[in-house]
Amino acid sequence: MTKQKAGLILFWIAVIWAIGWGVIGSVFVDSAFRNLTMDELNLTMWASQGTWTMIWALFGVPLAAIVAIIGILLYSGAKRSTVLKYGIGIFLAVFASMAAGYLGYIPLLFGIGGTLILLFFIGILWLWAKERMALEGASTAAANLKLAGYMFMLIAAWFICGIASQPFLKALEDEAPSSPIHVIILLVLGWFFLFLSHYKSRKQ
C-alpha cells in the first residue's frame, strides 16, 4: 500500500469517526445532559464521569482531528519526519491543554491567553496585508475570504471567553448563563469563509 493511499484511508476513517461521535453527541449525550438531573444522568451510560462520556469527550472529535491531520499529510506527500513531528506535536499539545483543565480557573492565564490571541490576530492582519499586495486575480479573492474567516474566529473567541468565565465571576454567579447560539453562528461563519478561501485558491 502506498503512503498516499494509507493517508487517504486514515483520513476517511477519521471523518467517519468524527461524524459518528458528533451524531451520538447531538442526539444522545446532549439530550441526556439537558433533560436529566445529575443523579438521573449518573444512572445512565452517559454518567458525567463514565467511560462512554469520557470516550465521547476526549476520543471523539479530538482524536479524529489528529488522525485526519496525519492522514491528509500522508496523502499530500509530506515527509515521514513531518508527519511524525506534527502528529506527535499536536497530540502532546492537545493532551497538555486537556490536562491543564484540572488546574481550575486561573484569571491570569486566561488573560494572558486572550491577549496572545489578540496579538496573533494583529500579527496575522499585518502579514496578510503584505502577502495580499503581491497577489493578483483569484488569489486576492481567496485572501479576502480568509481575512473574513479570521475576523469571525476572533469575534467568536471574544464571546467564548465571556461565556466560559461567567461561572467563575462572583458578580455574575446568580445570573442565568446567556445562550451560546451567537457563538456557534460566528464559528460556522469563520470556518465557512476559511473553507471558501481554500476552495477559491485551489488549482483550476
- Residue pair 94/62 in contact by the 8 Å Cβ criterion: yes
The arithmetic mean of pLDDT across residues 144-155, rounded, is 95
Q: Enumerate long-range contacts of 75-79, CB under 8 Å, 24 or more apart.
A: 75/4, 75/7, 75/8, 75/11, 76/7, 77/3, 77/4
The arithmetic mean of pLDDT across residues 88-92, rounded, is 90
Q: What does the pLDDT read at residue 34?
A: 82
Q: What does the pLDDT read at residue 203?
A: 63
pTM attached to this predicted model: 0.83
Least confident of 5-9, 59-63, 173-177: 173-177
Residue 49 pLDDT > 90? no
Q: What does the pLDDT read at residue 154?
A: 95
Size of the chain in residues? 204
164-197: pLDDT as tens digits = 888 777 777 777 777 889 999 999 999 999 999 9
- What are the residue boundaries of the structural domains of the chain, listed by start? 1-103, 105-204
Residue 204 pLDDT > 60? no
Mean pLDDT of the chain: 87
Local confidence band at 110 (pLDDT 50, 70, 90 cut-offs): confident
Report which residue type is found at 29.
Answer: V
- pLDDT above 90: percentage of residues in the chain: 40
* Residues contacting residue 67 through CB under 8 Å, at least 6 positions apart: 10, 11, 13, 14, 17
The arithmetic mean of pLDDT across residues 109-127, rounded, is 93
